[in-house]
């Protein structure tokens, strides 16, 4: 009989849950409803929990308080994709409940489960049943029911997991799209793998709980690609401040100003009782001395960038954070009224967004959803009072909203752009002399006029949207489902386009991917022009992976 869990046990359980999810991530990726080659739920959830696991694994003397901070802060900032953001909110609610206690008993566990579900549901604007939220809610209700009859966690945990599996198995009945695809909800399955791994640790099974990268801050930057002689500040300095007193906005501004005076590439991210710091400077000691006035330091890391550049060892930048060249740190510019951040993928699309005035590009999209911390880093680098974020993918909007909620000194506007063409249309319709409210209204309205189609190939056999799909078939995917299926790229694209065009259509834009030549794209444009002579057709090099064509109709 076990009636309490202490900090050491909870630490093992969390790390075991993270490792189990990591081991199952590809399987979870394959539960993607559409059989496209970019299923990423498992990857997103793994990156989210591993962000927290690195901090949890570094704690030498675990308590409910320091574990709660590590789990909440790490997952919150590392959250990627809708499922990752929701999981981070589940962790956030759970840890808010347990952090005040020395151990977790049955009642505290049930209360924490309730609070986790409440927090996660509040974070989603329009909660949908048949998802990870439903699975979590079912387990919380079961935990509440169980504690009425027993305080034995050895009895409660397996019953809660059994209920989670049962609810997960019912998700196809709640979401018809899951039933069509013959899969359960991938986010719910990811959550179950975390909890099953945690349960194995609770049972005392021998597990590998080592987490790679448990030293060093989670904040990481790509070094300047120019010659080492051009590196103005030679030491990349990172650390975490364990605050002794309240870190007010005034103190944060003062600290940032100080760091700007001794270096560049400054990022200061505060959360509860910790502050993550990154700066490039020629005198790391000055940054450290100033930081010590706010509290004790941990996870200190100082790299000689000139030496590393010469030895070609700088390989540890977070791949989804920024494009290779355009997001290099620039000299501080005077603060302006409006700035733009866009998520983009592909050399041609990057150039389009730059030409439209985007200040900061985050590399990401279908194949790799950027994290909340990636968004925070971008926000830090855009020196503007009002910053518009264009997620350009429905699975990135929640991470952007989470970054908005963590930003105090700038007005962040997250436009709900779900595709690259919507993002392009949004920024085209921005009018500098209009108010934020007027621009948001106009840009959102124009986004609603854009139809997007994307052409890729199928990675498995399935039946969805009334269409039989076989592995390696070409698919044309519209805003609300699969529009066309075939064996030929051009024919499938033309079929998709025929369903996107109506009597009000005026402009069709083609963005061709990195596997399509300009000549092939021009040939496709000519075929479309023959069929629809009254529509203006534009051809652009997108350079995106995975998708042969991204096409918009307005």
Determine how many CB atoms are found less than 10 A away from the CB of residue 161.
Answer: 17
Rounded average pLDDT over 304-324? 48
Distance CA 213, CA 222 (A): 17
Backbone angles phi, psi at 463, to 5 degrees: -130, 120
Backbone angles phi, psi at 477, to 5 degrees: -110, 125
pLDDT in tens, 77-86: 888 888 899 9
Using pLDDT thresholds of 50, 70 and 90, give the confidence band for residue 229.
very low
Does the pLDDT of residue 322 top 50, yes or no? no
> Edge-to-edge, what's the strand order for the sheet holding 274-281?
263-271, 274-281, 235-243, 295-304
Q: What burial letters (b/e) apply to 318-339, b meaning 16+ CB within 10 Å?
A: bebbbbeebbebeeeeeeeebb
pLDDT in tens, 406-451: 998 899 999 999 999 999 999 999 999 899 999 999 999 999 999 9
Backbone angles phi, psi at 179, to 5 degrees: -65, -40
Q: In degrees, to the nearest 5, what angle opens at C-alpha 137 toward C-alphas 373 and 201?
A: 70
- pLDDT for 228 equals 44
Using pLDDT thresholds of 50, 70 and 90, give the confidence band for residue 541.
very high
Does the pLDDT of residue 153 top 80, yes or no? yes
- pLDDT for 435 equals 95
Kind and range of the H or E run holding 464: strand 462-464
**Whole-number Cα distances in Å, 17 to 195, 203, 209:** 6, 13, 9
**Whole-number Cα distances in Å, 451 to 316, 353, 418, 491:** 38, 19, 11, 19
Using pLDDT thresholds of 50, 70 and 90, give the confidence band for residue 120.
very high
Mean pLDDT of the chain: 86
- pLDDT for 124 equals 82
How large a percentage of the chain has pLDDT more than 70?
A: 88
Question: 145: Cβ–Cβ under 8 A, 6 or more apart, which residues?
Answer: none
- pLDDT for 39 equals 60
pLDDT in tens, 340-391: 999 998 889 999 999 999 999 998 765 578 889 999 999 999 999 999 999 9
> Which of helix, strand or coil describes residue 268?
strand
Which residue intervals of 30-152 are DSSP H helices? Answer: 41-57, 64-78, 81-98, 106-123, 132-146
Determine how many CB atoms are found less than 10 A away from the CB of residue 443.
Answer: 24
pLDDT in tens, 235-252: 888 888 888 888 887 888
pLDDT in tens, 12-53: 999 999 999 999 988 888 887 666 765 678 888 999 999 999
Handedness of CA 190, 193, 197, 203 (dihedral sign): positive
**Whole-number Cα distances in Å, 9 to 4, 63, 89, 384:** 10, 10, 22, 45
Does the pLDDT of residue 254 top 90, yes or no? no
Rounded average pLDDT over 183-203? 94
- CA terminus-to-terminus distance, the chain: 65
Distance CA 280, CA 218 (A): 16
- pLDDT for 265 equals 67
Question: 272: Cβ–Cβ under 8 A, 6 or more apart, which residues?
Answer: 69, 72, 73
Rounded average pLDDT over 309-313? 46
Q: Could you tell me where the beta strands, DSSP code E, fall in 308-441? A: 336-344, 360-363, 384-390, 411-414
Does the pLDDT of residue 219 top 60, yes or no? no
Determine how many CB atoms are found less than 10 A away from the CB of residue 545.
Answer: 17
> Which of helix, strand or coil describes residue 277?
strand
Distance CA 191, CA 185 (A): 10
pTM of the model: 0.71
Question: 504: Cβ–Cβ under 8 A, 6 or more apart, which residues?
Answer: none
Nearest to 318 by CA among 375, 274, 359, 237: 375
Token pair 């092939």: residue: 520
**Whole-number Cα distances in Å, 430 to 8, 229, 381, 388:** 53, 40, 21, 10
What DSSP state is assigned to residue 229? Answer: G
Distance CA 151, CA 48 (A): 32
Does the pLDDT of residue 56 top 90, yes or no? yes
- pLDDT for 238 equals 82
């Amino acid at each position: 009989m076990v009636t309490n869990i202490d900090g050491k046990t909870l630490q093992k359980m969390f790390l075991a849950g993270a490792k189990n999810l990591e081991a199952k991530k590809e399987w979870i990726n394959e539960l993607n409803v559409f059989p496209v080659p970019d299923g990423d739920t498992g990857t997103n959830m793994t990156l989210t929990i591993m962000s927290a696991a690195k901090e949890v694994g570094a704690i030498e003397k675990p308590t409910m308080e320091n574990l709660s901070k590590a789990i909440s802060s790490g997952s919150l900032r590392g959250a990627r994709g809708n499922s990752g953001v929701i999981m981070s909110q589940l962790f956030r609610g759970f840890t808010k409940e347990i952090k005040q206690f020395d151990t977790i008993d049955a009642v505290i566990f049930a209360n924490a489960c309730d609070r986790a579900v409440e927090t996660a549901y509040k974070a989603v604007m329009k909660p949908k049943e048949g998802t990870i939220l439903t699975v979590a809610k079912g387990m919380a209700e079961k935990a509440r029911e169980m504690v009425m009859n027993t305080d034995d966690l050895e009895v409660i945990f397996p019953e809660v997991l059994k209920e989670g599996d049962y609810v997960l198995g019912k998700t196809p009945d709640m979401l018809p799209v899951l039933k069509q695809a013959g899969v359960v909800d991938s986010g719910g399955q990811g959550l179950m793998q975390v909890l099953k791994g945690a349960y194995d640790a609770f049972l005392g099974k021998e597990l590998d709980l080592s987490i790679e990268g448990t030293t060093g801050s989670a904040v990481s930057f790509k070094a300047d690609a120019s010659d080492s002689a051009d590196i103005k500040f030679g030491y990349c300095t990172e650390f975490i401040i364990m605050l002794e007193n309240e870190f007010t906005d005034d103190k944060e501004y003062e600290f940032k100003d100080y760091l700007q005076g001794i270096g560049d590439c400054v990022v200061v991210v505060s959360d509860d009782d910790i502050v993550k710091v990154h700066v490039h400077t020629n005198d790391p000691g000055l940054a450290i001395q100033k930081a010590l006035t706010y509290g004790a330091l941990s996870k200190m890391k100082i790299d000689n960038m000139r030496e590393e550049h010469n030895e070609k060892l700088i390989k540890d930048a977070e791949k989804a954070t920024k494009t290779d060249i355009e997001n290099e740190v620039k000299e501080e510019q005077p603060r302006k009224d409006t700035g733009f951040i866009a998520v983009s993928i592909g050399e041609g699309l990057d150039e389009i967004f730059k030409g439209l005035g985007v200040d900061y590009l985050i590399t990401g999209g279908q194949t790799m959803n950027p994290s909340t911390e990636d968004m925070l880093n971008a926000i830090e680098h855009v020196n503007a009072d009002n910053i518009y974020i264009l997620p350009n993918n429905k699975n990135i909007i929640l991470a952007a909203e989470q970054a908005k909620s963590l930003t105090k000194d700038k007005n962040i506007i997250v436009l709900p752009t779900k595709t690259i063409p919507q993002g392009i249309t949004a920024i085209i319709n921005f009018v500098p002399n209009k108010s934020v409210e007027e621009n948001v209204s106009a840009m959102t309205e124009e986004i609603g006029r854009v139809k997007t189609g994307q052409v890729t190939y199928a990675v498995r056999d399935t039946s969805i949207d009334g269409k039989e799909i076989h592995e390696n078939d070409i698919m044309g995917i519209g805003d609300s489902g699969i529009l066309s299926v075939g064996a030929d790229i051009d024919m499938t694209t033309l079929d998709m386009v025929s369903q996107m065009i109506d009597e009000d259509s005026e402009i069709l834009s083609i963005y061709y991917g990195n596997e399509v030549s300009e000549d092939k794209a021009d040939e496709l444009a000519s075929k479309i022009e023959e069929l629809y002579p009254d529509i203006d057709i534009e051809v652009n090099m997108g350079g995106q992976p995975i998708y042969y064509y991204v096409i918009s109709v307005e």
